[in-house]
Amino acid sequence: MKAQALHGHLDALLLAVLEGGALHGYAIIEALKFRSGGSLDLPTGTVYPAMRRLERAGYVESAWSTVNGRERRTYQLTKAGHGALAGERESWQEFSTTVSRFLGAAPA
């Protein structure tokens, strides 16, 4: 799946990945790939700018840590991020229900 297909949904997916706890950037990319069954294999050039945008919005916070001698930025949800994720889930349910009325199973 291409990053363009995720337009408008990437932030919600990133927040959902971080709901389970703090992750560094590469682990976020791997979690997206794993949870999507390989469909979301996004490049760093898509994910890292989105993470910075979420941080500027106050939805995630980051800190540098050293893992196996390597410096990594680790991201975690803030209280505002948890609230934003709840709102995204509600919006998604409404959107998917509406679209399913058109694209779901054909009427009998």
Element (H, E) at 24: strand 23-24
* Cα→Cα distances 91→39, 64, 95, Å: 22, 33, 6
Structure confidence by residue, pLDDT tens digits, 84-103: 999 999 999 999 999 999 99
Structure confidence by residue, pLDDT tens digits, 13-45: 999 999 999 999 999 999 999 999 999 999 999
CA distance 88 to 26: 23
All structural domains of the chain: 3-101 (1.10.10.10)
* Cα→Cα distances 40→27, 30, 32, 108, Å: 13, 9, 6, 34
